[in-house]
Structure 1
Amino acid sequence: MPLSPDRRLQFRIGGALTLVIAVNGALLAVLAWIASRALSASGRSVSIELGLPLSIGAVLLGAVGLVATQARYGSRTAVSGLELEPVDGDGTRNVGSRVRRLAAQADVPAPTVAVADRSEPGCLTVGRQRSPTIVLTTGLLEKLDDDELEAALAHEVAHVANRDLPVVTAVAAAVAIGDRLLEREGLLRRILENTVMIAFVTGIGVIVFAIPILVLGVCYLLLSAVARAVLGANAIVLGLFSRAREYAADRGASRLTGNPAALASALETLDDGSRPRRDARIHASATLGIVPQPLGLENATEDGEESWVERFLSPVSLERIGEPTLFDRAVTAVGGWLRKRLVAPTAAAVRRLLGWRPSTHPPTEARVDRLRALERRRRE
């Protein structure tokens, strides 16, 4: 039973691809403008005068080339921290033969299969449309039964049949860029906070650290603005097709296996909510996975170890030495009230705002409900 590409999904993918090209074009235009301003400020002049139409054309051509490069190589960022073992022949639990059979049913080129030795269950499809690779983890092979494994593989094959791999790979590359920018933003914020704390504690440091604090503050604001712009662009692009993409793959997998209940059970198993998530909603590997769970190697700070910032710039204590006076007690009481009523809620709101990430998948519960409905209709 060949799977034809979902038409509604193709329209959404077209819109998302157009937006990705526009975002990359805007980025190139901004970089070109900054470069020209920098050259002018240094006394150098750029003699190339293309005119507005040719300039727009050059930027668009560069954006198309950049997106094509992202679509071809972007998925590498999603699996860069994984040691993949290619599956030759049938492989463990016949995953190789299962994928070849499902691909033949869907009338698409058979993807290659690779296994990553990771305890968390997960699977995703990477690579190019003509030569995709389905990546499975050993945790998935251990946790899913035969019907669930078949359904999960059918879901990935359905993605290939829907031809959504190039655009989602380009988006995953942009997501990876956003991830890195947000990590740098957090690191720079901690350096700035500790620098300000040291300046106030040392007293004279306010004068000594004034210029570094100003420079760090400006750099943080610029980096934060760029990171949030990339995040917003990713949110819009993901909103255009991410939900439709997963729903279409779920329907395609149900058609290939004739067992929607097995896919529903697999989704519930893979997204059981018991595993900690590190910004799973927008991590590059989560963008490509069957459920929004990241598979890339975590940084040291995410494993509970202290970063170099925490080791060398740990928070400075402002506790006073000696017996507190009545004035000290009054200040402490007022400060505690302000922290509870004003500072803490404001800080929580800021953390929620800074921690917001767009969703890469529809809610698993909604997907399961749709699959259960398909199962009921199949039995009627």
Structure 2
Amino acid sequence: MHNRVRIGAVLAVLVGMNVLFVVAILWAYGVLLPGVVAGAVVYARHGTVSFDLLQLPVSWSTVAVLVAGFLGAQLYYGYRRVLEQTRTGRDDGDHVVARIVRRLAMTADVPEPSVRVLDAEEPSCYTVGRFTDATIVVSTGLIEQLDADELTAVLAHEVAHVANRDVTLMTVTTLFLEIADRAYRSARLARRAIQSPGDVSFRGKIALYWFLPLVTLTYVFVAPLLWVFPTVADWATRTLSHAREFAADAAAAHITGRPLALATALSTLSASGRTTPETDLRTTTMQALSVIPSPLIADRVARSIPTPDRPPAGDRRDRLRTWLDGETPSGVPKGDQRSAGTDRRTHPPVAERIRRLQELAADAELEGSV
């Protein structure tokens, strides 16, 4: 319940930021900049200036229509992105991984996702597509590193993402972060032209040539207003993504009845999932739906699929205790965030996820003993 309230609160913040963003743009270019220019002219001629900044250039009903259109456009383009992602996947046929996913989908009562197994050493598993047409992408490297129960738990985590419609949710919510970030970057064009002229695009150079006064005024007066939007949107998107990961972990534990299997899978994958954080927000969105931050593997269909029948390596509790006490299976200190496979923009710390799964396992044992 606490997680649902948190998710609802974050979504409310994102909607509120969308409303404020539209109002801020209207006010900045419809009131503030015209007022500054007109006020400067009047002051130069008469020595006094007076204009009302506490107004909008349009009616509140028009603002409501513009906000609705802005939100609707994000939903539309976000959904189109999901459709584009869906077209990248296809079913590789009936094999052991697909059969595991089929069983998990039946347990979770969701449409069966297709499965695409790619030939890659990097352990990677993520979901693309829609609720009714999702594809789970798995690398052979992930299958080889996990035992049968761990692989089932990881796939259950992805099925939980499908059941919670997280692909669509995270794709749409990340759109506002992209828009706010680009708007703030555009507002700082004048500064970038001075500090790094080689980084200015062709369109930026045209804007500087034809609209230099407007570009300068935008940097001085509008950029400080727009700074808050990518900052808050990044926090909200990150918080939402973390909440969805915890929810998917809990759902996977419930579906499989083996919370510790997912926990040991996380500890194993965190040691090898040392990816460099991506700066492209679309890539970050995709990585948000993987079990840990992992590279988007190349399209190399696996000719032979490893059999996930390796027995568990030792007692899971002992393995987790060793990992949490200070070292991963590869001997890397758990304080090293990159070694823990954690990109805080998309995923909560692995140690926190493991502790929550341990609590779920303890609660299940307690209920079973009563």
Q: Is the CA contact 1:154–1:256 (under 8 Å) kept in the aligned structure 2?
A: yes
After TM superposition, list the pairs within 5 Å mapping 1:1-380 onto structure 2: 7-32=1-26, 52-75=59-82, 84-91=88-95, 94-175=96-177, 192-193=194-195, 226=226, 229-239=229-239, 241-272=240-271, 275-279=274-278, 283-295=284-296, 359-379=345-365
Q: Could you tell me how far apart the structure 1 residues matched to 2:117 and 2:364 are?
A: 33
Between the aligned partners of 1:116 and 1:214, the Cα distance in structure 2 is: 53
| Residues 292 and 154 of structure 1: CA distance in aligned 2, closer, same or farther (over 3 Å) | same
Distance 2:92 2:252 in 1: 24
Evaluate the alpha carbon distance shift between residue 185 and residue 113 of structure 1 in structure 2; reply closer, same or farther with a 3 A threshold: farther
- Cα distance in 2 for residues equivalent to 1:284 and 1:21: 19
CA positional deviation for 1:156: 1.3
1:367 offset after TM fit, Å?
A: 0.8
Whole-angstrom CA distance in 2 between matches of 1:59 and 1:184: 21
Deviation digits for residues 121-143 of structure 1 (CA, Å, limit 9, x no counterpart):
22222322333332323432333
Q: Residues 117 and 137 of structure 1 are in contact (CA less than 8 Å); yes or no, is this contact kept in structure 2?
A: yes
**Kindly tell me: are residues 156 and 274 of structure 1, through their superposed partners in 2, closer, same or farther at Cα, counting changes over 3 Å?**
closer
Deviation readout 1:235-255 (Å, 9 max, x if unpaired): 13432x333322221111111
Distance 1:218 1:115, change over 3 A: farther
CA distance in 1, matches of 2:30, 2:136: 44
Aligned partner of 1:286: which letter?
Answer: Q
Separation in structure 2 between the aligned mates of residue 124 and residue 109 of structure 1, nearest angstrom: 17
Distance 2:57 2:32 in 1: 19
User: More displaced, 134-143 or 58-67?
Assistant: 134-143
CA distance in 2, matches of 1:180, 1:141: 39
> So what's the TM-score if we normalise by structure 2?
0.61
Q: Are the counterparts in 2 of residues 19 and 237 from structure 1 also a CA contact under 8 Å? A: no
Shift of 1:146: 2.0
**2:136 aligned counterpart, secondary structure:** strand
- Aligned residue identity for 2:76: T
The CA deviation at 1:173 is 3.3
**Residue 132 and residue 84 in structure 1: after superposition, are their counterparts in 2 closer, same or farther (change >3 A)?**
closer
Q: How far apart in 2 are the matches of 1:364 and 1:39?
A: 47
Aligned pair count reads 288
Residue 192 of structure 1 contacts residue 216 of structure 1 at CA under 8 Å; is this kept in 2? no
Moved beyond 6 Å, runs of 4+: 37-41, 178-191, 213-225
Q: 1: CA distance between counterparts of 2:26 and 2:143?
A: 48
Structure 1, 276-285 or 153-162: larger mean CA deviation: 276-285
Task: Quote the RMSD (CA, aligned, Å).
Answer: 4.5
Partner of 1:321: none
Alpha-carbon separation, structure 1, partners of 2:17 and 2:171:
15
CA 1:129/1:141 → structure 2, altered by over 3 Å: closer, same or farther?
same
Are the equivalent residues in 1 in contact too, given 2:105–2:112 (CA < 8 A)? yes
The share of aligned pairs that are identical, in percent, is: 34
Q: Distance in 2 between matches of 1:254 and 1:136?
A: 19
Instruction: State the Cα distance separating 1:377 from its structure 2 match.
Output: 4.3
Shift of 1:296: 7.6
The answer (yes or no) to whether the contact 2:166–2:289 under 8 Å persists in 1 is: no
1-side partners of 2:101 and 2:135: how far apart? 10
TM-score (norm 1): 0.60
In 2, the alpha carbon distance for the partners of 1:220 and 1:35 equals 12
State the AA in 2 paired with 1:373. Answer: E
Q: Does the Cα contact within 8 Å between 2:115 and 2:135 map onto a contact in 1?
A: yes
